[in-house]
Amino acid sequence: MRLTRAFLPTLKETPAEAQIVSHRLMLRAGLIRQTSAGIYTWLPAGWRVLRCVSQIVREEQDRAGAQELLMPTIQSAELWQRSGRYEDYGKEMLRITDRHDRPMLYGPTNEEMITDVFKAYATSYRDLPRNLYHIQWKFRDELRPRFGVMRGREFLMKDAYSFDLTKEGAQHSYRQMLYAYLRTFERMGLKALPMRADTGPIGGNLSHEFIILAETGESQVFYDAELESIDWAGAAFDFDSVADMQACFDLATSRYAATEEMHDEAAWAEVPEARRRQGRGIEVGHIFYFGTKYSEPMGLAVAGPDGQMVVPEMGSYGIGVSRLVAAIIEAHHDEAGIKWPDSVAPWKLAVLNLKPGDPACDALAERLHAAFPDQAVLDDRPERAGVKFADADLMGFPWQAIIGPRGAAAGRVELKRRMSGERMELSLEDALARLAA
């Protein structure tokens, strides 16, 4: 991608409306543009990040045994009348009427719809367990949309739904998702702490939120410092093993960690004082076990092994995919801009040609750019070096290849790592080898 041809608009000024750093940087780096309150266009760079985040989520859901499908954004009110949530959901639900005066809505979540879909096909215990998910836009008419995509009205969510024959089975499904979430956030360079949470309008009595610690977070949290030191990268649990999932769950939940709504002063007092941490965090995921809250009223039942009808036990599991983009920036930035982890960067490499028109610079820059056709941007603009450095730092490409006339004459390239600031001067061949690795 050549910057002279790209639609990658950056802003020099800090937009006045943005109160937190991720919102400011998302606007300045040209990732999003607000179109109305809480509703955003994802510009090319932002859309690429969102796709990377979605892909990691997808891979880890698939690994855990969930299967992807795609349900619509628009739902019929009739579905929600069956579960009783049509009235309960209140003003957060965007209600729509079609040309036949039929009440419709823009889905804020899909428990009813997935239960109805599954019910059309599931007849016996052999159809269980199953876990189905999609990555789809949601709409919640939030009272106070704010902080950009952090709390939007239209936002992208991954929502999974599990169906099991027994309570024990449903708990195993819940633990599989918990482990999948820890792996997912780890791959994005985030430390997410699972915390006991309130179930709100989704319901049920077992629920965990996944919290990224950040001063700008909207949730107040209380946790044992030991929770932060668990190394999930080193842990290798088997999703199919009940014992492994139990062990993983125990490890993740054995230390005190709760959101404000679930905070228990008596249990808190038992945590050694030196280990008590209190702070703010961003909720990037939320999982629920709610038994038969939807399967029962929606009429889902299957024949058990003994021929008796059984109402499946369910859970639902959400990840705020678009919110994650903002959360990753909150965790990885400096004064100059974004520092994307490799796994989610819109492009992995920026090739900065400091003197377009200089034959040696052009030749080196073209070679590097051509070596990574989908993963490199080439700054071939007739701009000052300072402008190129500033934009590359702002947009946060994990690697920069800096090509100036002096180095180029000697066939040398400077590589800069955005995350650490580390720099190295290499021959073209060594630079290509380093980047390919």
CB of 317 vs ligand P5A, minimal distance in Å: 6
Which residues in 390-429 contact ligand P5A (CB under 6 A)?
Answer: none
* Cis, bond preceding 129 (omega within 30 deg of 0): yes
Nearest to 414 by CA among 396, 435, 394: 435
Longest Cα–Cα distance of the chain, Å, equals: 81
Nearest to 11 by CA among 194, 365, 26: 26
**Closer of 185 and 288 to ligand P5A (Cβ):** 288
The answer for residues whose C-beta is within 8 angstroms of residue 361's C-beta and 6 or more apart is: 353, 354, 355, 403, 404, 405, 408
Element (H, E) at 373: none
Q: What separation in angstroms does the CA of 264 have from each of 221, 239, 277, 282, 285? A: 11, 31, 14, 20, 22
CB of 337 vs ligand P5A, minimal distance in Å: 23
Residues 17 and 20: their CA atoms lie apart, in Å, by 9
**Closer of 27 and 376 to ligand P5A (Cβ):** 27
Residue, CB closest to ligand P5A: 320
Span of 54-62, 224-232, 310-318, 384-392 interacting with ligand P5A by CB under 6 A: 310-318
What token pair was written down for 304? 């058990």
Main-chain phi, psi angles of 51, to 5 degrees: -70, -40
**Closer of 163 and 317 to ligand P5A (Cβ):** 317
Which residues in 129-188 contact ligand P5A (CB under 6 A)?
Answer: 140, 142, 151-152, 155, 157, 159
CB of 413 vs ligand P5A, minimal distance in Å: 40
CB of 12 vs ligand P5A, minimal distance in Å: 28
Span of 16-24, 65-73, 262-270, 279-287 interacting with ligand P5A by CB under 6 A: 279-287
Q: In degrees to the nearest 10, what's the CA dihedral of 313, 93, 133, 169?
A: -10
Q: Lay out the site mask for ligand P5A across 95-114 (x = CB under 6 A, - = otherwise).
A: --------------x-----
CB of 300 vs ligand P5A, minimal distance in Å: 17
Please identify which residue in 134, 172, 196, 286 interacts with ligand P5A, judged by CB under 6 A: 286
Q: Does 75 bind ligand P5A (CB under 6 A)?
A: no
Strands 276-291 and 219-224 turn out to be: antiparallel
Which residues in 312-341 contact ligand P5A (CB under 6 A)?
Answer: 316-318, 320, 322-323
Please identify which residue in 18, 50, 202, 361 interacts with ligand P5A, judged by CB under 6 A: 202
Residues 287 and 157: their CA atoms lie apart, in Å, by 13
Binding site for ligand P5A (CB under 6 A): 109, 140, 142, 151-152, 155, 157, 159, 202, 283-286, 288, 316-318, 320, 322-323
